Amino acid sequence: MTRAGFIALIGEPNAGKSTLLNRMVGAKVSIVTHKVQTTRARIRGVAIEGEAQLVFVDTPGLFKPRRRLDRAMVAAAWGGASDADVVVLLVEANRGITEGVENILEGLGDVTRGRTVALAINKIDRVKSEALLGLAKDLNEKFEFAETFMISAEKGHGVDAMRQWLAGQLPEGPWLYPEDQIADLPMRMIAAEITREKLTLRLHQELPYQLTVETEQWEERKDGSARIDQIIYVMRDGHKGIVLGNKGETIKAVSKAAREELEEFLGRRIHLFLQVKVRPNWLEESERYSEMGLDFKDGNT
Ligand SMILES: Nc1nc2c(ncn2[C@@H]2O[C@H](COP(=O)(O)OP(=O)(O)OP(=O)(O)O)[C@@H](O)[C@H]2O)c(=O)[nH]1
């Protein structure tokens, strides 16, 4: 029986989320650059464990928001946590229960209601084992974690056991990604995210709520350039007009801006082709996946 689901890694900045993710996922899908990982892509990687597919979603660092942008980032982080099937809170062994950790623990129950939440005490290579037990006890008194792991993401201690446990927590069901798509997933996803970002910048409030961008095709060309075909899916005919703009000027501007950024990011020439399509009959599931930046292809388009 296959299993698949989303796992959110949360924790204070510097807790070791990226390091753990790279350990969990391995080399196969960790080609996404750090910049993009932390600012854009919400899906950080896909790991396979036995018959389970683990999709890791990213959340920006959780901290006390001061500026408006910070608040938006924190809201996004909590959004990711509440969408996930399993949430893993990373706490630094050497720092213990900081004010930031307290803040996270306070909000944790509200956003993860009904979801499995595990605790991972990271950087255990930096402290003595006696201290660890005390910390684990204190944290478990503050929140009811389904499981507690003591790990060193950097050295790899405890990571395999944690991945196995996570796999067992995911719902039974088909994999979210076909195996052959996993390898180039990050690039396709980043490309889609870039276009989506340009649409957001251009349309502001006009941006249709339900809008997804999917990279349909990625063709490497002999001259070193690449052709990328993307489809912008909207829910209604009216939305299509908004995205196209008067005489197609919106889509043209978006396409130009996205292409330029892609060229800069990939360091080569890109031919970007955008198409707008109406896809009214989404399954509820597909909405969930597309919110998380996942392509959803099941023939229901
Ligand atoms: N000693 C030790 N250092 C670790 C361990 N895991 C991560 N680190 C270090 O901690 C620092 C932060 O790790 P990251 O993985 O970048 O942390 P992050 O949570 O992704 O940070 P943000 O992107 O700021 O949210 C890096 O210098 C890592 O090398 C560990 O198990 N032991």
Contact 142, 104 (CB under 8 A): no
Please name the residue whose Cα sits nearest to atom 28 of ligand 1: 16
Contact 195, 274 (CB under 8 A): yes
- Identify the bridge partners of residue 172 per DSSP, sorted by sequence position: 3
Number of Cβ within a 10 Å radius of residue 106: 11
Residues 67-95 have a mean pLDDT of: 73
Place of tokens 């893993």: 88
Centre of ligand 1 from the C-alpha of residue 104, in Å: 18
Ligand 1 neighbours, Cβ below 6 Å, are 11, 13-19, 38, 61, 122-123, 125-126, 152-155
CATH architecture of the domain 184-291 equals: 2-Layer Sandwich (3.30)
Contact 273, 267 (CB under 8 A): no
Place of tokens 């930031």: 100
Number of Cβ within a 10 Å radius of residue 188: 18
Domain 3-169 fold is Rossmann fold (3.40.50)
- Identify the bridge partners of residue 8 per DSSP, sorted by sequence position: 57, 87
Residue 122, marked binder: yes
pLDDT confidence of residue 272: 97
Contact 90, 17 (CB under 8 A): yes
Centre of ligand 1 from the C-alpha of residue 271, in Å: 37
* Residue of 64 and 243 predicted with greater confidence: 243
Tell me the C-alpha distance between 25 and 5, whole Å: 14
pLDDT, tens digit (0-9, with 9 covering 90-100), for 102-161:
988 887 887 777 789 999 999 999 999 888 999 999 999 999 999 999 999 999 999 999
Q: Which atom of ligand 1 is nearest to the CA of 19?
A: 15
What residues have CB less than 8 Å from 287, skipping those under 6 apart?
210
Torsion (CA) 242, 245, 250, 255 in degrees, nearest 10: 80
Residues of the chain with CATH 3.30.300.20: 184-291
Q: Give Cα separations from 206 to 184, 200, 257 (angstroms).
A: 32, 9, 18
- Identify the bridge partners of residue 229 per DSSP, sorted by sequence position: 217, 273
Q: Would the pLDDT of 18 be above 90?
A: no
pLDDT confidence of residue 220: 86
- Identify the bridge partners of residue 3 per DSSP, sorted by sequence position: 52, 172
Centre of ligand 1 from the C-alpha of residue 24, in Å: 14
Q: Which atom of ligand 1 is nearest to the CA of 38?
A: 23
Q: Which atom of ligand 1 is nearest to the CA of 60?
A: 25
Interface ipTM above 0.95 = yes
pLDDT confidence of residue 21: 82
Residues of the chain with CATH 3.40.50.300: 3-169
Q: How confident is the model at residue 34 (pLDDT cuts 50, 70, 90)?
A: very low
**Sequential DSSP letters for the chain:** --EEEEEEEEESTTSSHHHHHHHHH-STTTTS-HHHHHHT-SEEEEEEETTEEEEEE--PPP----SHHHHHHHHHHHHHHHHSSEEEEEEETTT-S-HHHHHHHHHHHHHHTTSEEEEEEE-GGGS-HHHHHHHHHHHHHHS--SEEEE-BTTTTBTHHHHHHHHHHHSPBS--SS-GGGTTTHHHHHHHHHHHHHHHHHHHGGGS-SSEEEEEEEEEE-TTS-EEEEEEEEESSHHHHHHHH-GGGHHHHHHHHHHHHHHHHHHTS-EEEEEEEEE-----HHHHHHHHTT----SS--
Pocket test for ligand 1, best of 9, 10, 14 (most atoms within 8 A of CB): 14
Share of the chain above pLDDT 70, in %: 74
* Residue of 65 and 13 predicted with greater confidence: 13
Tell me the C-alpha distance between 115 and 197, whole Å: 30
Q: Would the pLDDT of 176 be above 80?
A: no
- What is the phi-psi region of residue 171: left when phi exceeds 0, alpha when psi lies from -120 to 50, beta otherwise? beta
- Identify the bridge partners of residue 46 per DSSP, sorted by sequence position: 55
Residues 161-172 have a mean pLDDT of: 96
pLDDT, tens digit (0-9, with 9 covering 90-100), for 233-250:
888 888 899 999 999 999
Q: How confident is the model at residue 30 (pLDDT cuts 50, 70, 90)?
A: very low
Residue 160, marked binder: no
Pocket test for ligand 1, best of 90, 154, 155 (most atoms within 8 A of CB): 154
Q: Would the pLDDT of 214 be above 70?
A: yes
Centre of ligand 1 from the C-alpha of residue 261, in Å: 29
Pocket test for ligand 1, best of 10, 12, 18 (most atoms within 8 A of CB): 18
